[in-house]
Amino acid sequence: MTAGGANEVVVAGRDRYLSTVRELQSNGFELCADLCAVDYLGHMDRPLPEGAGRERFEVVVNLLSLSRARRVRVRVPVPESEATIPTLFDLYPGVEAMEREVYDLFGIVFIGHPDMTRILMPEDWEGHPLRKDYGIGRVPVQFKEAPGPR
């Protein structure tokens, strides 16, 4: 685990993810403000913080300590070949929808999640739209007030 500065960043491997977040929670980080993912396809040569693995995906968790007015970001590298990570639902029940969104849009599965189903896309949708290798423009969009084709 590495951290430092006003904007603390902690890098944790998947094997230390739950214990790292549990430790932060016990140290006063009582709110999970955000959980999202990043697809680094095409940027595998990016600079990395100490201790970070060079993986395609990264789950990013932002925790707040309201009592101490502190924020910490937890970054967890996730390999494309096994895009899974434990759920934080038992620690922060509010992540339920955020983890489903990451699953839906990136295809990262949260092991132990109570309802690992799509939340934004239809259940029969193929693929994960925020992956960098997902095809662009596959669904035509017709806005409500837009005039029809001429």
Question: Which domains can be identified in the chain, with CATH numbers?
Answer: 1-150 (3.30.460.80)
Q: What is the pLDDT of residue 4?
A: 46
pLDDT digits (tens, 9 = 90+) for 69-78: 999 999 999 9
How far apart CA 58 and CA 16 sit, in angstroms, is 14
> What is the model's pTM?
0.85
**Residues 100-113: what's their mean pLDDT?**
98
Secondary element (H or E) of residue 24: helix 17-26
Q: What is the pLDDT of residue 135?
A: 81
Q: What is the pLDDT of residue 51?
A: 73
**Number of helical H runs and strand E runs in the chain:** 2, 6
Residue that is written with structure tokens 């890098």 in the block: 11
pLDDT digits (tens, 9 = 90+) for 27-84: 999 999 999 999 999 999 988 887 788 999 999 999 999 999 999 999 999 999 999 9
Q: Judge whether residue 148 has pLDDT over 80.
A: no
Burial of 23 (0-12, 13-18, 19+ CB in 10 A): middle
